[in-house]
Amino acid sequence: MERRKQLRKYIQRAKTSLTVERNIPIAQYGLFLALLSSAALFLVSRLFVWPYYRQTALATFIVVILATVLFMWWKRVKEKEALHTLDDYFSHNELVTALSFEDDKDPLVQSLLTKALENVEKAFADFKARNKNLLRPKALIGLFGTAVVLAILYMFPAASQIEAVEVEKEKAVIEDVKKEIAKLEKKAETKEVKEQLKELQDTLKKTETAEEALREVVKKQKELALKEQQLKDKQTASNEGASDDKGLSKEEVEQLKELAQMQQGLTQNANTTQTAMSKLGKP
């Protein structure tokens, strides 16, 4: 049993070596294909404004690399293949013959195992010394050339690509506005204010530029300010006895407090958006 385990260790070593030898050429072609796919997307993105073209190219690169890894796993060397490959370096196929029998107590099997173990070191050395042919010149040339082209395309973007990056930044500003309004809407407790902020969220979904988003935020802030002023006027008139109303209801008092808080939140949001737009070179 011990001799059989020792032979199995050599087979595992051969399997590992064969796996590496098989994967290196696959990796070269896989990396070349990944770079080529990314370079192709960079070239296409120069023809028109394509937001997130860089992220798309990176995602494509990662997908191709993952596909290459999956292909390596699918083409992995099996133990049987490693056994027969290593056995080719024995004079009389002692390795396959010795391991084909399972009865270790049989004198013939013991003799075969002993002979295989005596020759396995030399056979493995010959196996390691064989010509492996790991490099693929065409793949390496293509890989290097594609990497150079991709680097040039990245460092010297076209006007459409520069505009696409600006569009990405503007979309990021709009998304930040939406997130902040959503936070305010969650904090709101009165029905009226909640509905107003919900309406603003629905409007922002239709906006395409940061200017439009800012305009809608400012518009809603003015609407809330007007509503707040109306409640204040009602409260003042009631306090001075100029109106038959009994004053603000409990809900209106809460609404008045919340309107002031929401206005402040919208004002901060508008200021932040204006600052972000200024960084983008927009008025």
Tens-place pLDDT, residues 223-264: 888 888 887 887 777 666 555 555 677 777 777 788 888 888
One domain for residues 87 and 178: no
Q: What is the DSSP letter of 280?
A: T
Other C-beta atoms closer than 10 Å to the C-beta of 31 total: 20
Which distant-in-sequence residues (6+ apart) come within 8 Å of 96 by Cβ? 83, 84, 87
CA-based angle 113:115:119, to the nearest 5?
A: 115
One domain for residues 53 and 182: no
Please name the residue that has the structure tokens 């990662």: 62
Tens-place pLDDT, residues 58-73: 999 999 999 999 999 9
One domain for residues 16 and 151: yes
One domain for residues 44 and 80: yes
One domain for residues 195 and 172: yes
Which of 123, 139, 155 is the C-terminal boundary of a domain? Answer: 155
* Segment (H or E) for 160: helix 159-187
Tens-place pLDDT, residues 17-51: 999 999 999 999 999 999 999 999 999 999 999 99
Which of 110, 132, 155 is the C-terminal boundary of a domain? Answer: 155
One domain for residues 133 and 73: yes
Structural domain harbouring 10: 2-155
Which of 136, 155, 174 is the C-terminal boundary of a domain? Answer: 155
Tens-place pLDDT, residues 110-125: 887 888 888 889 999 9
Q: How far apart are the first and last CA of the chain?
A: 82
Which is nearest to 266 in space by CA: 191, 190, 204? 204
One domain for residues 105 and 133: yes
The CA distance from 216 to 212, in Å, is 6
The number of folded domains in the chain is: 2
